[in-house]
Amino acid sequence: MQARPSHLQPHRNGPHDVRQSAPRLILCIWIAGLASAAHVQAQKPTKQPAQQPERWHAHSSPVTQSTSTAASTPDDVTLEDYLALLAQISPAARDGAQAYLRAFAQRCGRPLTALELRKAIAQGSGDPVLMGMVSASHPSQLAQRDALLNQLSQRIRCEGQGQP
């Protein structure tokens, strides 16, 4: 029988017996993992919405206020986020929607909400005034843009729940 090196010799019933120490090692690792997970969880700050100072709201326009408004329903996104999504689709879509928001606030005396804007875009073929403002915001319409936007802003309807 060939002798093994000492580090490969089985340790039976000694302090280094792997069969005895492995369960303890696993238990220690498991407890350490639980402790570190609890520590990490305790260190995480709770997410709370940022509070804007009241003086900020007093100096901002109705359109600016509506873009910073938090989502009112789980399916709703903020106006700022929705405009960013429109910009990804087409910068003209975002520019037209912003022109529509400004014209609506000026004509109707209140800002349009993100949900109202989404409905104006999505219902049927979209609100004709809004779609016209999107078309007028296209770079190919640059020469007539201001005149078209002024004409279209006169056609915005304010009745109902802000639905144009």
Mean pLDDT calculated for residue range 36-43: 42
Question: What confidence score (pLDDT) does residue 71 get?
Answer: 46
Question: What confidence score (pLDDT) does residue 45 get?
Answer: 52
Mean pLDDT calculated for residue range 111-117: 91
Mean pLDDT calculated for residue range 152-160: 84
The answer to whether the CB of 82 falls within 8 A of the CB of 114 is: yes
Q: Give Rg (Cα) of the chain.
A: 32
> Cβ neighbours of residue 58 under 8 Å, at least 6 residues apart?
none
Residue 111 clears pLDDT 50, i.e. is over it: yes
**Which residue, among 143, 150, 146, 157, has the nearest Cα to 104 in the 3D structure?**
157
Distance (Å, rounded) from C-alpha 149 to C-alpha 131? Answer: 11
SS3 content of the chain, % helix, strand, coil (to 5): 60, 0, 40
Residue 121 clears pLDDT 60, i.e. is over it: yes
Higher pLDDT, 64 or 106: 106
Measure CA of the first residue to CA of the last residue in the chain; give whole Å.
95
The tens digit of pLDDT for each residue in 134-148 reads 999 998 888 898 999
Distance (Å, rounded) from C-alpha 98 to C-alpha 8? Answer: 76
Higher pLDDT, 121 or 10: 121
Question: What confidence score (pLDDT) does residue 56 get?
Answer: 40
Q: Which two tokens stand for residue 80?
A: 């700022």
The owner of tokens 């995480």 is 44
The answer to whether the CB of 57 falls within 8 A of the CB of 64 is: no
The tens digit of pLDDT for each residue in 58-89 reads 444 444 444 444 444 545 689 999 999 999 99
Q: pTM (2 decimals)?
A: 0.53
